Amino acid sequence: MNKLEQYILSKYDGDMFWFEEEVKDNWHMNRVRNILDNKEYLAGKHKIKQRVDEVYNGKVFRTRKIALNYAKTLLTFETAFLLKNPVTLISNDLDALEQYKKVYREGKYNQLDYRILSNMVKYGETYEYVYIDENRRIKSIVFDGEDSYPIYDNKGDMISFIHYYIFDGISYYTIYTDTTVEEYNDVGGDLHKTGEYNNLSGLPIVYRIPSEEDELKGNASLNEYIDILDSMEDLLSKYMDSFYKYLNPIPTFKGTKLNTKEGGVDENAVGYALQLAEDANFEFVNSKMDYQSFKILWQNLKQSLMDISMTPAVSMNSQEISNVSETSIRMMYSLAEIKGAMNSLYLKQGFEKRWGIMKKLLNILGYNINEDAYIDCNFNMNIPQNAGEIIENLSKATESGIMSTERAVECNPFTIDVNAELEKLTSKDDIEQ
């Protein structure tokens, strides 16, 4: 009896439709609810939108509900910073490397990687399943977190995976095990199996930014920004309301009343010239806005947002620069590099499993990848660079003999494919000789 069978027997008494109850488990429901909350926030359902209207001067005053979309900007920056430039595959076996590069090109994996990281920073987790399509090409499909139900044993190892969603009132279940893929739906009212297939790829790959409370749950970068953004929206909306509620000037008379009806000014008067008694005074009195306090609060909140998200202020037009040397640019992007390194670590944990599955599938397709061949990648972070300064330093380093041509090609900001560039340089040397 394998681990999954033991799990079903102990928790669901061997019920053949155990997965129907599994997706209703509290652990899954809480995880999915958090993901859906983030989706709603990114769709524009912010806390400020729930602000109620008020009654002012006997009339309904419609309060401002200003939503800021800073979250989308921060998350887009976080994703593009690491993956705007495609990852560079490297290997100790050039033949194997060419096969992997072909798989990446045909499967559009650079676009897929971008979507995976985007899902991670927005929702905390996402899942990838690698398979061979009808054209005998290796492809991947990405499952959104709210449709994914991984099952773990007591050691935190995945033992099964359920892809569950509802479309047009019909429930669809796909159950993945190490060796099989089973499909169920309730078309006609009764849940029944619609297909069973051999699983060549094993279980889906999990990509997750682990939570401090539960490492098996994802913790989206978005969760760290919402409280600050709520405060910024609240501050801005209430400050805008103050212009309409408190800055209306009130006419004030001091001294002897004017000789008009009942001693006041006719409210319908237009274009009158007022004559005051000798000891009387007339002025407009209005509240004064403490805009300096607003300015300081706003700046502090925005700076906190930049600090927590590790986003360079210059990328959000919040800082002016005059010195654009390579060193100064690196310093401004140092926190972003740290965040990028963390995200690359989480991505690589999934990539290593992906490459293992690809090797297995390539061998099944008859490409016979060397068992000793390994695959790795370099991330090309999108840091603004003074390309001229870098190339000049690389040229000096290679000419003085302290750096190899291979290393210089790797560091060249214009190099996308290191191995292809080295092959071209080798061919060029052969022709010149």
51, amino acid identity: R
Calpha distance 233→238 (Å, rounded): 8
pLDDT in the model for residue 321: 60
Crossing angle for the helix pair 70-83 and 334-364, to the nearest 10 degrees: 60
Task: Look at residue 319 and tell me if it is in a domain.
Answer: no
Task: Look at residue 414 and tell me if it is in a domain.
Answer: yes
Task: Look at residue 421 and tell me if it is in a domain.
Answer: yes
Task: Look at residue 410 and tell me if it is in a domain.
Answer: yes
pLDDT in the model for residue 331: 78
**Residue 90, φ and ψ in degrees, nearest 5:** -135, 150
Number of Cβ within a 10 Å radius of residue 109:
24
pLDDT in the model for residue 126: 97
Task: Look at residue 430 and tell me if it is in a domain.
Answer: yes
Task: Look at residue 310 and tell me if it is in a domain.
Answer: no
pLDDT in the model for residue 258: 56
Count structural domains, the chain. Answer: 1
User: Taking a C-beta distance cutoff of 8 angstroms, is the pair 176, 129 a contact?
Assistant: yes
Give the gyration radius of the chain's Cα atoms: 32
pTM over 0.75: yes
> 396: part of which helix (H) or strand (E)?
helix 387-399
Task: Look at residue 425 and tell me if it is in a domain.
Answer: yes
pLDDT in the model for residue 275: 59
Question: In which domain, by residue range, is 424 found?
Answer: 389-433
User: Taking a C-beta distance cutoff of 8 angstroms, is the pair 331, 325 a contact?
Assistant: no
| Cα 317 to the center of its chain, rounded Å | 20
pLDDT in the model for residue 259: 57
Instruction: Give 10-residue mean pLDDT values along the chain (433 residues).
Output: 91 94 96 96 93 80 89 94 90 90 94 96 97 95 96 93 95 96 94 95 96 93 94 90 68 62 58 61 65 85 90 71 63 87 96 96 92 89 78 88 84 75 75 59
Task: Look at residue 185 and tell me if it is in a domain.
Answer: no
